[in-house]
Amino acid sequence: MSGLLALTSGSAAETTTFTEPRYRERLAAVAYTGSDEAFGEVDGVWVPEGTPRRRLLRLAPRLEALLSGGGTVLLFGDHQSGWPATADWAYRPAGGAGETQVPAGSPWSGTALGAAARRLHHHGVLFPPQGAEVLLAAPDGAAVTYLDRAQAGGTLLVSTVDPLAHFGHTGAVEAARFLDLFLPWVTNTLLPQGDLS
């Protein structure tokens, strides 16, 4: 199996999102975070916001192995678990919808994906490691989403936005627009095997 594996802890938001046909077609599989099964031969793993911290820490060796093998990890949420060590997160009240910026030179700059990302609010800010590329920033320039290819070994996308929660719980149009553009970008751009469709 190649492609993108989505992790789920069984929340209603995750179930709704991962069973939505237009998102499910972009996923190679969905796996339960409480399982001890190996990820298998996947190119990337999506770790959604709300993944329990203890489970994330238990999964960390498998995620690190994927990254060190050149794979991709997409990590969303408030990043208080301590993994990865390079994800330096600081609390800020939720906000920023419509106020975030896509920095010049970002792969999202001038794209529909960047415009959709700007409409999402964020939960805290990040202090990216040296060499990381900021994709989305708070009004003061602090990172909200970054791509780390320099320190991670593979490709690590870290973000404090929570589109899955908003789509899965309320069907939020802005979250859906972001996911509609984000998942094809991931499968076509970040994963070594390219598009699944």
Q: Please name the residues in contact with 140: beta carbons below 8 A apart, sequence gap of 6 or more.
A: none
pLDDT value, residue 137: 95
pLDDT band with cut points at 50, 70 and 90 for residue 1: low
pLDDT value, residue 166: 86
Q: Considering the domain boundaries, does residue 177 fall inside one? A: yes
Summarised one tens digit per residue, pLDDT across range 89-98 is: 998 877 677 7
Mean pLDDT of 32-38: 83
User: Has this prediction a pTM greater than 0.95?
Assistant: no
Mean pLDDT of 142-160: 91
- Reply yes or no on whether the pLDDT at 22 is more than 80: yes
Range of the domain at 95: 4-190
Q: Considering the domain boundaries, does residue 196 fall inside one? A: no
- Reply yes or no on whether the pLDDT at 12 is more than 80: yes
pLDDT band with cut points at 50, 70 and 90 for residue 193: low
Q: Between 65 and 153, where is the model more confident?
A: 65
User: How many domains are contained in the chain?
Assistant: 1
Which CATH number is 142's domain given?
A: 3.40.50.880
pLDDT value, residue 37: 77
pLDDT band with cut points at 50, 70 and 90 for residue 196: very low
Q: Please name the residues in contact with 21: beta carbons below 8 A apart, sequence gap of 6 or more.
A: none
Rg (CA), the chain: 15
pLDDT band with cut points at 50, 70 and 90 for residue 79: confident
Q: Considering the domain boundaries, does residue 72 fall inside one? A: yes
Q: Are 95 and 125 in contact (CB under 8 A)?
A: no
pLDDT value, residue 194: 52
Three-state DSSP state, 107: coil
Mean pLDDT of 134-145: 94
Q: Considering the domain boundaries, does residue 181 fall inside one? A: yes
Q: Are 179 and 167 in contact (CB under 8 A)?
A: yes
pLDDT band with cut points at 50, 70 and 90 for residue 197: very low
pLDDT band with cut points at 50, 70 and 90 for residue 27: very high
Q: Considering the domain boundaries, does residue 153 fall inside one? A: yes
